[in-house]
Amino acid sequence: MVTDPIADFLTRIRNAQMAGHRIVEIPASNLKKRLTEILYDQGYILKYKFEDDNKQGLIKIALKYDPNTKQPAIQVLERVSRPGLRQYAKPAEIKRVINGLGVAILSTSKGVLTDKQAKAENVGGEVLCHIY
């Protein structure tokens, strides 16, 4: 049993990139699906597909690499709030990741949003992770 599914999601992507894999498969949940959609919208992954396997479901993610240097598009996947120490932020307290070049993902009352979307909606919430 996984006690922190978000950390497991991030670690699977991180490990697949370090091994140079093109595709990574992750057990699905609604939160993980939304995280995947945000990664795609921000341009960190090539594409994704949600598959139903008559159980929990699967998320297949095609990872993105730089064609010249073979470096992954995602340099850092960092879990911020964790089960032992939750991190919350009000709209005015949401910090920019690498001066606005990275993305912070928050779980808010209006759903899972990026830091820019949360500031535009004027909602705070739990800071799930930073990506750059």
Confidence of residue 1 (pLDDT cuts 50, 70, 90): low
Confidence of residue 53 (pLDDT cuts 50, 70, 90): confident
Residue 56 has pLDDT above 70, yes or no: yes
C-alpha to C-alpha distance for 73 and 17, rounded to whole angstroms: 9
- Phi, psi for 25 (deg, rounded to 5): -110, 135
Question: What digits encode the pLDDT tens for the residues 8-49?
Answer: 999 999 999 999 999 999 999 999 999 999 999 999 999 999
Q: How far is CA 108 from the centre of its chain?
A: 15
- Mean residue pLDDT of the chain comes to 95
Would you say the pTM of this structure is higher than 0.85?
yes
Task: Report all structural domains of the chain as residue ranges with CATH numbers, in order of start.
Answer: 5-63 (3.30.1370.30), 77-131 (3.30.1490.10)
